[in-house]
Amino acid sequence: MFINKEEFKEAFIRKLEEKIGKKKDQASEQDAYLALGALISERINQKWLQNNQKGTESRDKQVYFFSMEFLLGRLLGNNLLNLDMLSLVKTGLNELGFRFTSIEEKEKDAGLGNGGLGRLAACFLDSLASLDLPGHGYGLRYKYGMFDQRFIDGNQVELPDQWLSQEYVWKVRREEEAVEVRFGGHILTHEQEGKLHFEHVDYEQLRAVPYDVPVIGYHNDTVNTLRLWSAEPTEEDILVKAKKEHSCQNLLDHQRSLESITEFLYPDDSTEEGKRLRLKQEYFLVSSGVQCVIRSFEKLDLSWSLFPDYKKLHINDTHPTLIIPELMRILMDEKKLGWEEAWQITQASVSYTNHTTLSEALETWPVEMIRSLLPRIYMIIEEINERFCRMLWESSPGNFDRIAKLAIIADGQVKMAHLSIVGSSSVNGVAKMHTEILKKREMKLFYDIFPDRFNNKTNGISHRRWLMYVNPLLTNAIDEAIGEQWKKEPERLQDLLYQIEDASFLDTLNEIKQKNKQNFASWVEDKTGVQLDPTSIFDVQIKRLHGYKRQLLNALHIIHLYNQIKCNPTSNLTPRTFIFGAKAASSYHFAKKVIKLINTIAQIVNNDADVKDKLKVVFLENYSVSLAERIIPAANISEQISTAGKEASGTGNMKLMMNGALTLGTMDGANVEICDVIGNDHMYSFGLSAEEVQAYYDTGIYSAKETYEEDERIRRTLDQLIHYSPFSKGGTEFREIYDELLFNNDEYFVLRDFNSYVNTQQQISYDYQDIRNWNRKCLVNIAHSGVFSSDRTIKSYAAEIWGLNSHNTVNGLGEENGM
């Protein structure tokens, strides 16, 4: 890339002059960011070109990972790390009088996702490229990503995320690769020589223009592609409209309404009015992507039956399920294949990952909506459904109940999960326990029919971003202790276990954590004015705000601690800092109340002379990838406290563990596997098991009211939400939370798990006093975190789902490790 630092400095200064028109001494940090981005992009482009050529010439099988979300965050630092240029650039810029850390902050996060699902997709891309696997992402280029969250009077306020307001340097617009996507209209059916032909008429046509983002592998020459599609009117459409309208304003309105398809990322609980637009978005992604895959296959000039050997299409959650009927449509209507052949090809090329069992999150679409927006697609779904129901009937004649439960179309709705299972060759969950729940409960009837289709792929995270990039101090210490091989083979982190009795290494770990906490504390003070005590336990809960994730349990515990200190101001409590980061979906009223409650608690606790040296609460605005990168290296406790059985996997748990935070968690999602590898002594587990939770749901015998009445601590804490207290100030603001817990019978068992949680927290306070032993536990966590690298996950997707080969993979593929 650059032969040495001097060459980099020269190139950078030249770029500043050419691109920005400024000399080094006049350039702002913003100017420096844009120049650096352009310079690095140019270098990447050379590799990218070679890679695209390599892909075409070698005719390797390619995977296309379709996802409505890619939560990339910032790319500058990570790209430089993967290009092996981070330290050269850092020192080079330093010598020129710039601070790299300030420059990289000028990059706006690409926040094209809501949470775990989108960030997982981004980590997967990083692993695909780093393992030199030909896998590419297909997504949408939303003009506004995840909203910008602000707190006003403790309430969440959502502002549009203007991530494109400054030039986005990591992209190339590929005009020549644009395709057209059709909506609405009617289907005319003709018969010709005994065959049916379908003609789509009166449709509205849109242009899908790809913006390609390079995805750079770690210390290899691989550059894969994330292709983000953007909606634009077709020229033809504009001309036709112009003839009719004669008004520039009307034309612009028309253009805007077409472009609105890729305007917003939808929050996960999109409202009714947004549903239609969301369906359009999903089809827009699917249709542009599938057309592109077909075009690339046709260049190979092979028989269609070989399509699954060259092209794999992955459905990330049900959002891109329409891949199935869209591929069928193209193969049958355009390429003139028969149903059977098209179906075989489709099923063999498509695979699907489920990311949640929450019933409210399982996608269904009203039949009328699909029929009117996508008439041909609807016909195909109907046919798939009919054939599937016929098969069910034949295997168990007269069993109407089973057919009603399994049908793809039922009660006027199209069930996307059913379509995904029926139309693909693989269905996977994202942690062992989640997959078991799918097989034994949520998708049991499907599992009985297609047992071989179901498999588990436990999630992972990129250790490059979430350890090497975010925590350079820890990275260096690990390098010194065990060498650098772990960077390519993260499981080698286990070699750290040899250091378990090495007092000086444990002290080093402690110093690093302290340093990270200090850095974080000064940043918080700068941003919020709140002073944190770096010797206190930094107790972190960062994730989407949702009832099942139980930020409320954490909040009630803080009120309980506050009460304890107020009753006994001289008590010997280990000082704590509670750190929150979370966005609530804009229409999720209850979640927003919880935000207000935590902000209120922070206000009271941080300003009360009796407690402020022992307790601090900070709820940081605008939780995002770059905020997570700041918080995680400084965490001591990782709160993973979902109601057991509800969190499919969780990935924050892995990031925090990798940075030496100890998990306080329920036996849920991937926490179970974390516990399996580190052992119960190295984490803090509490609460009901998933089986116990399920038994309560099944029998209906749980009574939140009884729990409240029987327990003085719970009563007192809860009453403070509605009776006069510093938190309620006599108002009714938190009445809804109180009612939800008591009169709606506490759907997520917050009260039921309260005591177990409080006791475990007490144990943590006690154990933290013995810092040497604490650091031993941290070391065990770091040492066992390698298995949660997304490299392990992707190797197993590649070997067991996609049948992919890498050009020169270091570690080999397909190691079975039971995950």
| Three-state DSSP string of 228-248 | EEEEEECHHHHHHHHHHHCCH
Q: Which of 487, 543, 646, 752 is catalytic?
A: 543
Q: Which of 227, 549, 592, 784 is catalytic?
A: 549
At residue 132, φ and ψ (nearest 5 deg) are 60, 40
Nearest distance from C-beta of residue 361 to ligand 26V, angstroms: 3
Whether residue 544 lies in the annotated active site: yes
At residue 161, φ and ψ (nearest 5 deg) are -90, 105
Distance CA 77, CA 85 (A): 9
Q: Residue 10 is encoded by which pair of tokens?
A: 């020269």
Nearest distance from C-beta of residue 494 to ligand 26V, angstroms: 24
Asked if residue 641 lies in contact with residue 448, where contact means CB atoms within 8 angstroms, the answer is no
The answer for residues whose C-beta is within 8 angstroms of residue 366's C-beta and 6 or more apart is: 412, 413, 414
Question: Based on CB atoms, which residue is closest to ligand 26V, 79 or 356?
Answer: 356
Question: Based on CB atoms, which residue is closest to ligand 26V, 430 or 783?
Answer: 430
CA distances for 392 relative to 258, 508, 575, 654, angstroms: 41, 62, 61, 41
The answer for residues whose C-beta is within 8 angstroms of residue 458's C-beta and 6 or more apart is: 430, 431, 432, 649, 670, 673, 788, 793, 819
Nearest distance from C-beta of residue 657 to ligand 26V, angstroms: 14
Strands (E), 306-359: 311-316, 350-353
Question: Based on CB atoms, which residue is closest to ligand 26V, 62 or 459?
Answer: 459
Q: Which of 353, 508, 577, 651 is catalytic?
A: 651
Nearest distance from C-beta of residue 438 to ligand 26V, angstroms: 13
CA distances for 416 relative to 67, 261, 317, 413, angstroms: 15, 20, 9, 9
* Pairing between β-strand 223-233 and β-strand 204-216 as defined by DSSP bridges: antiparallel
Residue 361 is inside which H or E element, if any?
Answer: none
Nearest distance from C-beta of residue 171 to ligand 26V, angstroms: 25
Scan for tokens 């504390």, then name that residue: 521
If you count them, how many residues does the chain have? 819
Torsional sign, CA 763, 769, 773, 774: positive
Q: Which of 311, 544, 550, 593 is catalytic?
A: 544
Nearest distance from C-beta of residue 589 to ligand 26V, angstroms: 12
Distance CA 704, CA 738 (A): 11
Distance CA 274, CA 270 (A): 6
Whether residue 655 lies in the annotated active site: yes
Whether residue 319 lies in the annotated active site: no
Buried b (16+ CB within 10 A) or exposed e, 775-809: bbbbbbbbbbbbbbbbbbbbbbbbbbbbebebbeb
Nearest distance from C-beta of residue 673 to ligand 26V, angstroms: 12
The answer for residues whose C-beta is within 8 angstroms of residue 3's C-beta and 6 or more apart is: none
Greatest CA separation for the chain: 92
- Determine how many CB atoms are found less than 10 A away from the CB of residue 703: 16
Residue 138 is inside which H or E element, if any?
Answer: strand 135-140
Residue whose C-alpha is closest to residue 505's, from 474, 534, 464, 536: 474
Q: Which of 9, 655, 784, 792 is catalytic?
A: 655
3-state secondary structure at position 490: helix
- Determine how many CB atoms are found less than 10 A away from the CB of residue 75: 24
Asked if residue 507 lies in contact with residue 603, where contact means CB atoms within 8 angstroms, the answer is no
Nearest distance from C-beta of residue 113 to ligand 26V, angstroms: 8
Provide the binding-site residues for ligand 26V, judged by CB under 6 A: 115-117, 120, 268-269, 317, 355-356, 358, 360-361, 430, 459, 546, 647-651, 669
Q: What is the DSSP string of 575-632?
A: PEEEEEE----TT-HHHHHHHHHHHHHHHHHHT-TTTTTTEEEEEESS--HHHHHHHG
Q: Which of 106, 278, 329, 355 is catalytic?
A: 355
Whether residue 513 lies in the annotated active site: no
Nearest distance from C-beta of residue 116 to ligand 26V, angstroms: 3
The answer for residues whose C-beta is within 8 angstroms of residue 394's C-beta and 6 or more apart is: none
Whether residue 275 lies in the annotated active site: no
3-state secondary structure at position 360: helix
Whether residue 207 lies in the annotated active site: no
Nearest distance from C-beta of residue 70 to ligand 26V, angstroms: 13
The answer for residues whose C-beta is within 8 angstroms of residue 12's C-beta and 6 or more apart is: 35, 36, 39, 92, 93, 96
Nearest distance from C-beta of residue 269 to ligand 26V, angstroms: 4
Distance CA 750, CA 554 (A): 9
**How many CA atoms lie within 13 Å of 439's alpha carbon, on the beta-carbon side?**
17
Nearest distance from C-beta of residue 585 to ligand 26V, angstroms: 7
- In DSSP terms, which residues pair with 225 in a beta bridge? 214
Residue whose C-alpha is closest to residue 555's, from 511, 505, 594: 594
Distance CA 718, CA 498 (A): 47
Nearest distance from C-beta of residue 69 to ligand 26V, angstroms: 8
Q: Which positions are annotated as active-site residues?
A: 355, 543-544, 549, 651, 655
